[in-house]
Structure 1
Amino acid sequence: MNSVRKTTTTTLWRPTGPEELALVEASRWTAWPPRLPEQPIFYPVLNEDYAVRIARDWNVPASGVGYVTRFEVDTEFLRRYPVRQAGGETILELWVPAEELDAFNAHIVGRIEVVREFR
């Protein structure tokens, strides 16, 4: 009898601008691009509302458009990153060091998808 282990996933969101989104699209919607030297941390967020606020209130003024993406990551892998509260009760992030982004990307299950767009 074959036993197939189903991966348990956690849904994460990432607010992003057009440049980063173009790089995600170039990966066929499977990976986040390497961080720039001034970006030592990749921070996906734990709820859509917080991602919406960043995309709408920060990305739109900075680049004319903001996107909210949603993706699934292997829950067991995510346990290495403590949840960070970056403000109020619902402002929750994971802080992934830039040098660990390849490993993080390898644990994305399925595709990264755009779920909201603001202009």
Structure 2
Amino acid sequence: MNATRDTLTLWRPVGPEELALIRESGMRAFPPRLPEQPIFYPVTTEEYAVKIARDWNVKASGSGFVTRFEVRRSFLAGYTVQAVGGVAHREYWIPAGDLPAFNDAIAGEIEVVREFR
């Protein structure tokens, strides 16, 4: 996958349950957030996604996956990148109610690029 002038590459660490729901969508959409999850947070680097998938998802569920996908820049223009815990930890905070529009802004398929057990 290569970002174009119109898209930006983002990553999302996921556990096995979320990955199953992504697969049910044909690798085209992220599932709705749970009530206790008001924010959807795709991250800006593969390294940050790897850290979360490896260090958090594996502990929580036995496996972690890194997904990669392209999002239209025109959609992301309405959101600010957030730095959380350091310069290398950057993510977008997409309110749960905006997730359907975010999914519509994904160009192409969501790919699994790393797996940890």
State the TM-score, normalizing by the size of structure 1: 0.94
**Cα RMSD over matched residues?**
1.0
Tell me by how many angstroms 1:72 deviates: 0.2
Letter in 1 for 2:116: F
Distance in 2, Cα, partners of 1:65 & 1:7: 34
Match of 1:94 in 2: 92
Q: Say how many residue pairs are matched.
A: 114
Q: What is residue 37 of structure 1 aligned with on the other side? A: 35
Q: Structure 1 residue runs of 4+, over 6 Å off?
A: none
CA positional deviation for 1:76: 1.3
Among residues 57, 60, 70, which one is paired with 1:59 in the alignment?
A: 57
Task: Give the drift of 1:7.
Answer: 6.6
Task: State which of 49, 69, 94 in structure 2 corresponds to 1:71.
Answer: 69
Q: Which runs of 5+ in 1 are unaligned?
A: 1-5
Counterpart of 1:3 in structure 2 is none
Secondary structure at the aligned position of 2:107 is classed as: strand
For residues 33-82 of structure 1, give each alpha carbon's deviation from its aligned partner in whole angstroms, at most 9, with x where no partner exists. 00000000000000000000000000001100000000000011101110
In structure 2, stretches of 5+ residues that fail to align are: none
SS at match of 2:42: coil
Q: 1:108 aligns with which of 106, 109, 112?
A: 106
Q: Which amino acid in the other structure matches residue 23 of structure 2?
A: E
Q: TM-score, normalised by structure 2?
A: 0.95
Identical counterparts, % of pairs:
64
Contact 1:12 1:70 in 2 (8 A): yes
Contact in 2 for aligned 1:7/1:74 (Cα 8 Å): no
